[in-house]
Structure 1
């Protein structure tokens, strides 16, 4: 269960970062995804895990591939682990 929550948080942070970088409001993105603003908030805050079909739509909205989206999440996680390890030295 903890791993699922970590993934939800990681994906949520990335969704929010991409949305804000592109100047899109939560309302606009939620309409484009076909979900409520509350559901988008749950995704962005890591409370709910976004489904693959919504990831596909999200990537289409921002003209990125799913691979690019997931790779950027992996890079972020690697940097976090690197920072954590460095804090011990």
Structure 2
């Protein structure tokens, strides 16, 4: 299933019009229409915005795409953790966090 079709299905299931969802994510309804029809590529950042606006985990959208592929999908918590981790600019602090999580995972 194509990503635009998934977005359209989820949007309708949540009861949003194209105009309502587009406003929630800060784009025109025409751009959302292009996403849903597969005429424009969707960035990961935009996909995250759409998932949040629809109040669904990003993995709900991605899992539809990869159902047949047997690819592991990250949970919403893992995605959020990765977003925060990437914002840590100090390499030593990043290493420290990794050591902490390594120790926590052994318990």
Normalised by the size of structure 2, how large is the TM-score? 0.58
Corresponding position: 1:65 with 2:50: no
Structure 1 residues 45 and 76, CA gap change in structure 2 (3 angstroms): farther
- Structure 2: 5+ residue stretches without partners: 71-107
User: RCO (CA 8 Å, sep 6+): is it higher in 1 or 2?
Assistant: 1
For residues 14-25 of structure 1, what are the structure 2 equivalents within 5 Å?
14-25=6-17
How far did 1:76 drift? 7.3
Q: Is the 8 A contact 1:33 1:57 kept in 2?
A: yes
Q: Take 1:23 and 1:64, find their aligned partners in 2: how far apart are those partners?
A: 13
Q: Take 2:48 and 2:11, find their aligned partners in 1: how far apart are those partners?
A: 15
Q: Is the 8 A contact 1:55 1:66 kept in 2?
A: yes
Corresponding position: 1:53 with 2:45: yes
How far did 1:49 drift? 1.0
Q: Output the aligned Cα RMSD.
A: 2.0
How far did 1:65 drift? 1.8
Determine which structure has the larger helix proportion and give its number.
1
Displacement over 4 Å in runs of 4+: none
